[in-house]
Amino acid sequence: MKGVLLPLMMIATPVAAQTERLSVVANGEIVGTVVATTTGNRVSVDYRVDDNGRGPKHREEIELGAGAMPVGWTIAGSSLMGGPVSEQYRWAAGRATWKSQADSGAVASAAPGLYIVNDDSPWALGVYARAALVKGGAVTTLPGGRLAVTKLRSMKVGATAVDVYRLEGPQLAPDYLMLDAQRRLFATFSATGVTIRSGQEREAPALMTLGAELEGERVRAISRAVAHRYDVPVRIRNVRVFDPASGTLSAPAIVVVMRDRITQVLSAADDKGAAPADQLVIDGEGGTLMPGLADMHSHTSLGGGLFYLAAGVTTTRDMGNANGFLLDLLPRLDSGEIAGPHVVADGFIEGRSLFSARNGIISDTLDDALRAVRWYADRGYREIKIYNSFNPDWVKPVAAEAHRLGLGVTGHVPAFSSPDRVIGDGYDTIAHINQLMLGWLLEPTDDTRTPLRLTGMARAADLDLSSPRVQRTVTAMQQRHVSLDTTAVILERLMLSRAGTVGAGDKDYLAHMPIGYQRHRQRTFVPLKDAGEDARYVAAFAKLLEVVKMLDDRGIRLLPGTDDGTGFTVQREVELYVEAGIAPARALRLATLGAAEYLGEGALRGSVAQGKFADLVLVAGDPTRDIAAIKRPRMVMHDGAIYYPAEIYQRLGIAPFAAPPKATAPATTTGGTDAPAGTHGFAADGRDHFD
């Protein structure tokens, strides 16, 4: 009707869209973005990361219901290594349904629950936190589990007032985030990386420091609770000792430890009468006492040491880290303030390119690289590690400088180089079996700074190990005593991961883990075009295991490594050696004494012998007959402390795998810092009493 004004309430007012931008910062450089546009109750999120030639790239569509609870969530794009991402969640009419790479399901639900996304972005943490805060700080999650968010402090970052939260439950480690006064996401952060509101990138270093402080507080509290220390001898009875040098188990024996050293290794016949009243006595119940395992390719984190110790890993070689973070952490590990294994540090050196890994030191010139070598030498690093974007022409002079200063040389094969060339230029060790094998599979113009360093492995299905190309490299490794840090487990995880299935490497532990971690492991990490390509990856991994066995047969030193931090993958790496055809006792030697010898520490670690450090693991059964026995440690000793993995796992939200052994407290002590022996901090109902 012309000339007639409609009532104001009848005029539809469009809702203005609000866009929020965040930057993903690693090692001081922006490597990704999060762009979120909110229109009413709908949010569109574009998430892109380009770091080290890889990174997730996907788009999320979120629909929010009452109480900031998502009622719809879809994600589409690609994951870290280019695998496809397609995920949907919907709550409607009292029913929640979801479908992801990992699983699909539906449940009746009178109100929407909090769905934990399988392929999420930093933005999701803000969604989770807001929904939990509306519920009082904790909420049951879908497909399972529970999420809790705890306010830790209020502060200002620049001119912005924020509240700092810890979010726990879905994953192995907590997340830390900041919400502003309107509960909008300001940042997510850790000790090694930050996602922060665009324009505030200069605050990233301070947030990393805060991340280390907050996570350090949590880890220190757990470390104090699970480390049992005594100022009296610890007498471990009724065990058989594994000797990695001979590959055999002893007759029943007794091992005595005083603080961090083995003082006696005795025959059971020497254990006459009652045990001394002034010693802690542990009954091994006929199990095997073995030296602690080593992970020869790790990246140390604040909380990772707890996982390593619980898995029986007492030594790691750090293959690249944020240098300031690692140098601050190492003395804390040495003092026992933070629980974790003995760490040997390698210094990471990368070249500048669009594909650079943001880690260690990035060198723009050869002089920069040489200065980096000297920097690491001055700080006591054992080796340097060269990475993908490093100029191949720099390897020889940099290796010469490292050797002059007493450092070893290891690393990836730089893009457009070859294993043969880096061996000739001075490498002592090649990192990752795929970095070795790609030299037999790719053309000189292929760019291994991209995900091709994984996807190119499918070509190994047809590899002839007797070919001159292969044998020339193996002969060079023999002649120059070049080792291989295998990380076969991470290749298995990437090449054989399949949506909706539990991989062979995960089946023995995955059901014990938090729901978010369980789902993440049940997905495809590589793009698979068809069934033929799927079969090629399977055949290629079988060929990879053949290479492991061939190299061991030819006398090439193998260093079991993982490129992971859970400890479970160390156990699987050793198991893969056995699947490759290496005898269990030989595989255990490589993961214990062999690793210690490579690190120059064979006189101190790697076997159970008088005078050596008491890096010990107690398992039930005989791992020289059944290698899977190493997956269920009952007790671990390291750095003068006794750890019971069951205690550690309960505090980390993981269902334990094996009960602690029986321990009898000494009648008198001269100090000590422990709960009563025999209880191990557990209540009678088997549940842990947290501090």
Structure confidence by residue, pLDDT tens digits, 561-596:
999 989 999 999 999 999 999 999 999 999 999 999
Give yes or no for residue 681 having a pLDDT over 90.
Answer: no
CA pair distance 424, 418, nearest whole angstrom: 10
Work out the pLDDT band at 386, boundaries 50, 70, 90: very high
Q: Which residue do the tokens 């070859």 mark?
A: 418
The H or E element spanning position 165 is: strand 160-168
Work out the pLDDT band at 528, boundaries 50, 70, 90: confident
- Structure confidence at residue 685 (pLDDT): 29
CA pair distance 293, 471, nearest whole angstrom: 31
Work out the pLDDT band at 81, boundaries 50, 70, 90: confident
Q: By C-alpha distance, which of 290, 293, 380 is closest to 561?
A: 293
Give strand pairing partners of 485: 431, 559
The Cα angle at residue 565 between residues 560 and 567, in degrees rounded to 5: 65
**Mean pLDDT along residues 60-83:** 92
The H or E element spanning position 548 is: helix 531-553
Q: Count CB atoms within 10 A of the CB of residue 125.
A: 21
> Token digits for 550?
């061939």
Work out the pLDDT band at 14, boundaries 50, 70, 90: low
CA pair distance 691, 671, nearest whole angstrom: 21
Give yes or no for residue 689 having a pLDDT over 70.
Answer: no
Domain ranges of the chain: 18-225, 229-291+611-664, 296-598
What confidence tens digit (pLDDT) does each residue in 180-220 have?
999 999 999 998 889 999 999 999 999 999 999 999 999 99
Architecture per CATH, domain 229-291+611-664, reads as Roll (2.30)
What confidence tens digit (pLDDT) does each residue in 115-165 have?
999 988 999 999 999 999 999 999 999 999 999 999 999 999 999 999 999
Four-residue CA torsion sign, 198, 44, 71, 83: negative
Mean pLDDT for the chain? 92
- Structure confidence at residue 54 (pLDDT): 80
How buried is residue 619: exposed, middle or buried, by Cβ count under 10 Å (0-12/13-18/19+)?
A: buried
Residue 71 DSSP class: E
Query: Checking phi first, is residue 676 left (phi over 0); if not, alpha (psi -120 to 50) or beta?
Result: beta
Per cent of the chain over pLDDT 90 is 83
Task: Return the CATH fold of 296-598.
Answer: TIM Barrel (3.20.20)
Residues 6+ apart with CB under 8 A from 66: none
- Structure confidence at residue 18 (pLDDT): 95
Report yes or no: 619 and 312 within 8 Å, Cβ to Cβ: yes
Give yes or no for residue 348 having a pLDDT over 80.
Answer: yes
Give yes or no for residue 351 having a pLDDT over 60.
Answer: yes
Q: Which residue do the tokens 């061939």 mark?
A: 550
| Residue at 129: amino acid letter | A
